[in-house]
């Protein structure tokens, strides 16, 4: 499957690494796909991943994952272009910029906002209730969690 991940931080990197490892083609969408940070992420993951701009990653993918900090999410979704008909996985927690609490959540959700910014997309919420460390290595002693 072709998976586009918008965001190259802890969550996007952990999910991309795991999905590439099990054989999916992963394209990271970034504002600066040639940056040192993105180049290092590609090197760490290895085969099965590429980096482009957000619009190219979204266009080339069946599933688009949004794994950005909340303050950057609207711009990131809009940079993807037309997401109509795509499955969009929202991994975002809408934290305030200073992490003092949530910016949304009492009468609307991040997923509702993302759906509004991506008309025609099929938005689902996932991967926001566990840490990137669990995504990278879901092993607890002799027990391995399904992720």
pLDDT digits (tens, 9 = 90+) for 87-105: 999 999 888 888 887 787 7
Confidence (pTM): 0.86
Would you state the pLDDT for residue 8?
93
| Backbone φ and ψ of 65, nearest 5° | -105, 130
Strand order in the sheet with 122-125: 49-52, 25-29, 2-6, 63-66, 87-90, 122-125
Would you state the pLDDT for residue 98?
84
Q: Is the per-residue pLDDT at 67 higher than 90? A: yes
pLDDT digits (tens, 9 = 90+) for 27-50: 999 999 999 999 999 999 988 899
10 Å CB burial of residue 49 (0-12, 13-18, 19+) is buried
């Amino acid at each position: 499957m072709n998976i586009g991940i918008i965001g190259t931080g802890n969550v996007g990197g952990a999910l991309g690494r795991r999905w590439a490892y099990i054989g999916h083609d992963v394209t990271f969408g970034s504002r600066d796909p040639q940056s040192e940070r993105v180049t290092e992420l590609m090197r760490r993951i290895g085969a099965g991943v590429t980096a482009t701009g957000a619009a190219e990653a979204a266009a080339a993918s069946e599933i688009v994952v949004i794994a950005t900090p909340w303050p950057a999410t609207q711009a990131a979704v809009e940079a993807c272009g037309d997401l109509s008909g795509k499955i969009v996985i929202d991994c975002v927690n809408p934290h305030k910029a200073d992490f003092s609490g949530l910016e949304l959540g009492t009468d609307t959700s991040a997923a509702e906002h993302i759906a509004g910014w991506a008309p025609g997309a099929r938005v689902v919420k996932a991967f926001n209730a566990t840490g990137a460390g669990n995504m990278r290595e879901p092993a607890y002693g002799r027990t391995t969690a399904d992720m």
